[in-house]
Amino acid sequence: METRRVLLITKKILLFCDPGIDDSIAIMYSILDPDIELVGIVTSYGNITRDKATANAAYLVHLAGRSDIPIIPGATKPVQDEDVTFYPEIHGEDGMGPIQIPRNFRYQIYPFDTIRFIIEKYKNELIIVDTGRSTNLATAFILYPDHMKMVQSFYVMGGAFFVPGNITALAEANFYGDPAASNFILQYAHNLTITPLNVTQHAVLTQQFVNAISQNKNNIYASLVDPIYKYYYEFYKKSNPGINGAPIHDLLTILVVKNPTIVDYINYDAKVIEGTDAKGMSYIDYRPTSKKGKTKIAIKLHYNDFIKELSNVLL
């Protein structure tokens, strides 16, 4: 009798992020999912300052006993020299709601050039996911253009197509935070998939689901998820009256890497407005005569499949 071995290939992800509550939950998921190998975390300003985001990423890695994952600090402000706005009402002063990292917590950081070595190690096995402002990712393209060509694919959380923005009436927060960098990525990244507000705003976790996570004693983050979720949910109850949970935008982008079928796509070339009152607005040419483009834009979420994927890892 012939015995066949099933070879499971993990998704090797280099994560660019600004944790932030939803980024933090995305990091937790990436570490817990056996089908994902988190090979590095590149941090930036965004939801909070770069230094706070770096500390949060390092703390989450520390809690999991994964000091092998390099933490790489990046940009402190966007490409265009503008004032940066942070959002403590959404993410808390330090980025994880009421959670405060111990003052005596120490961690190692790695230089930005570590990105180059990670790409050289994994080459076309590497997937880059960007769930924050795209300043760091654009910088990597400028510094290491030949290396970035080796990367298998890119996934970016950003934009809003045919739906309202969440930072202005027209703009989603990541594209608004550095529209020049976002435009750069849209132009130069190959095999690019965008998960915009169209799908991420429906990636809602309910309190009931979070309670189930908290009761899972095998989940190393069980005690952390509930307090940061409640802080996050309080904001959404005020900004989106009637909502039955909080959308974990950045988490969905990670899940799309693992299971692309949980969303439906359209293929267009997207752009971002960089100036005027429409700053950060993303758009495509949707006229009947327009040509299809190279970028995959997620447009519809299959919610039950989303929850099933989460349950398999977190519960």
CATH number for the domain harbouring residue 164: 3.90.245.10
- 62 part of a folded domain: yes
214 domain residue, yes or no: yes
In the predicted structure, residue 287 carries a pLDDT above the cut 60: yes
Asked whether residue 223 is domain-assigned, the answer is yes
Question: pLDDT tens digits for 179-233?
Answer: 999 999 999 999 999 999 999 999 999 999 999 999 998 999 999 999 999 999 9
List pLDDT tens digits, range 255-285.
Answer: 999 999 999 999 999 999 998 889 999 999 8
For the cut 50, the answer to whether the pLDDT of residue 5 exceeds it is: no
Residue 8: pLDDT band (50, 70, 90) is: low
pTM here is 0.94
Domain membership of residue 165 (yes or no) is yes
Q: Is the pLDDT of residue 64 over 50?
A: yes
Task: Tell me, yes or no, whether 51 lies in a domain.
Answer: yes
> Which stretches of the chain are assigned E, i.e. beta strand?
11-17, 36-43, 71-73, 126-130, 153-157, 192-195, 204-205, 246-247, 263-268, 271-272, 282-283, 295-301
Please report whether residue 200 resides in a domain. yes
Domain that holds residue 297: 11-314
Answer yes or no: is 139 within a domain: yes
Q: Is 38's pLDDT higher than 70?
A: yes
pLDDT band at 82 (very low <50, low <70, confident <90, very high): confident
Say yes or no to pLDDT of 118 above 60.
yes
Does 6 fall in a domain?
no
Number of folded domains that form the chain: 1
Distance between CA atoms of 235 and 231, rounded to whole angstroms? 7
Model pLDDT, residue 291: 84
Provide the 3-class DSSP secondary structure of residue 284: coil
Q: Confidence band (pLDDT; 50, 70, 90) for 81?
A: low
pLDDT of residue 6: 43
2 pLDDT higher than 90: no
Q: Cα–Cα distance between 295 and 145 in angstroms, integer?
A: 19
Torsion sign, CA atoms 224, 227, 232, 236:
positive
Q: Could you say which DSSP state residue 46 is in?
A: S
What pLDDT, on a 0 to 100 scale, did the predictor assign at position 80?
80
285 φ, ψ (degrees, to nearest 5): -90, 100
